[in-house]
Amino acid sequence: MARSRGRRAPARPRRRTPRARRRNEAPRDGRPDGPSVAPAGRGVARGLVQGPAVSALLALDTSTEWASVAIFDGTAVLAEETWHAQRRHAEDLFPTIERLIALSRAPFKAVDKVAVATGPGSFTGLRVAIAAAQGIARGSGAALVGVSTLDVLAYPHASSKLRTCPLLPAGRGEFYAALYQERNRKWARRSPFIVGPLVDVCRQIGTHTLFVGEIDQEAESTLRDLLGPLALFAPPASRMRRAGYLAELGWNELAERRQAPLGALEPIYVRQPAVGGSFAQPFAPPPADDAALGLPKRSA
């Protein structure tokens, strides 16, 4: 008798358990489920980008054919430009200011301080920057301070510990100059402003002196002939003025005292301009004691 073949009971369907989501996988409904880690790089850039400056200083220098503008926030130069303006100061200045404001990402309302180079220098050039600085300060209420152009030239060389003599062309073969030196841990101008030919400037030199400023090859050769080894020269790039240094000096000056009254800020001409201008004539202070400065005695 043939044995009947029985039917197998149908297999029960296997119940599939839901696969555990990966730790950082978001559920399909898009809602967060537990801790997640952003992919590498996400969110880092936002944390490193600095916000716009809360307080900024605008520095303007049109003292000679070379001009410079900078934006400074008290700790860093946010933007700076130095260029050979020749005699285009009035045409170039405000477009440069607008460009640097944009580059610095500092809104114009953040500019609550203005520093301007007051000379000595070109009579016309000085008036351009000073008038612009006064107009900006008057319109925005920004604090205003003036800094001597020779102070700006000498300032970056204070750490050299050398007597420093900045030079600027005064026309007719003459130069503006002054002597700077550290004494009692204080860097400052140690002579009156000088204007004259290089031979007159060199009469004030009695020790090794570092020359900076707008010094062409002819002037450098003359100084070497007159002073020999006493004449030292900074590298050409570091001789030039930069508004970033003007900004630092102006910021420090405003931190120590009140702003200059708008009407009191005037250019330092040292000598009377050939053509009358709108500013009163401020002359250099009287010469200080030569012995106190370590200068050679002047012939009677």
Provide CB contacts within 8 A for 242, sequence distance 6+: 68, 70, 80, 82, 152, 156
Predicted confidence (pLDDT) at residue 170 exceeds the cutoff of 70: yes
Domain check: are 105 and 254 in the same one? Answer: yes
| Tokens found for residue 223 | 């100084």
More confident call, 18 vs 144: 144
The Cβ of residue 20 has, within 10 Å, a number of other Cβ atoms equal to 7
Residue 133: the pLDDT is: 96
Domain check: are 100 and 245 in the same one? Answer: yes
- Residue 11 domain flag: no
Which residue intervals of 214-279 are DSSP H helices?
217-227, 236-239, 243-256
CB-count burial class (<10 Å; 0-12, 13-18, 19+) for 295: buried
Domain check: are 160 and 234 in the same one? Answer: yes
- Residue 178 domain flag: yes
Tell me, what CATH number does 194's domain have? 3.30.420.40
Domain check: are 97 and 162 in the same one? Answer: no
Handedness of CA 80, 251, 62, 212 (dihedral sign): negative
Domain check: are 117 and 258 in the same one? Answer: yes
* Per-residue pLDDT band at 293 (split at 50, 70, 90): very low
- Residue 29 domain flag: no
- Residue 16 domain flag: no
Name the nearest CA neighbour of 212 among 244, 239, 179, 175.
239
- Residue 36 domain flag: no
Predicted confidence (pLDDT) at residue 111 exceeds the cutoff of 60: yes
Domain check: are 141 and 72 in the same one? Answer: yes
Domain check: are 121 and 162 in the same one? Answer: no
Domain check: are 212 and 73 in the same one? Answer: no
Residue 49: the pLDDT is: 33
- Residue 271 domain flag: no
Predicted confidence (pLDDT) per residue in 231-259, tens digit: 999 999 999 999 999 999 999 999 988 67
Domain check: are 73 and 222 in the same one? Answer: no
| Distance from C-alpha of 300 to C-alpha of 298, rounded to nearest angstrom | 6
- Residue 245 domain flag: yes
Domain check: are 100 and 246 in the same one? Answer: yes
Domain check: are 167 and 122 in the same one? Answer: no
8 Å CB contact between 124 and 273: no
| Residue % of the chain over a pLDDT of 70 | 72
Provide the number of structural domains found in the chain: 2
Predicted confidence (pLDDT) per residue in 128-140, tens digit: 999 999 999 999 9
- Residue 175's SS3 state is strand
Domain check: are 114 and 256 in the same one? Answer: yes
Predicted confidence (pLDDT) per residue in 146-167, tens digit: 999 999 999 999 999 899 999 9
- Residue 48 domain flag: no
Using DSSP bridges, classify how beta strands 174-177 and 163-171 pair: parallel, antiparallel or unpaired. Answer: antiparallel
CB-count burial class (<10 Å; 0-12, 13-18, 19+) for 248: buried
Predicted confidence (pLDDT) at residue 229 exceeds the cutoff of 60: yes
Predicted confidence (pLDDT) at residue 5 exceeds the cutoff of 80: no
Token pair 């009254």 is found at: 261
Range of the domain at 194: 152-239+289-293
| Distance from C-alpha of 257 to C-alpha of 37, rounded to nearest angstrom | 52
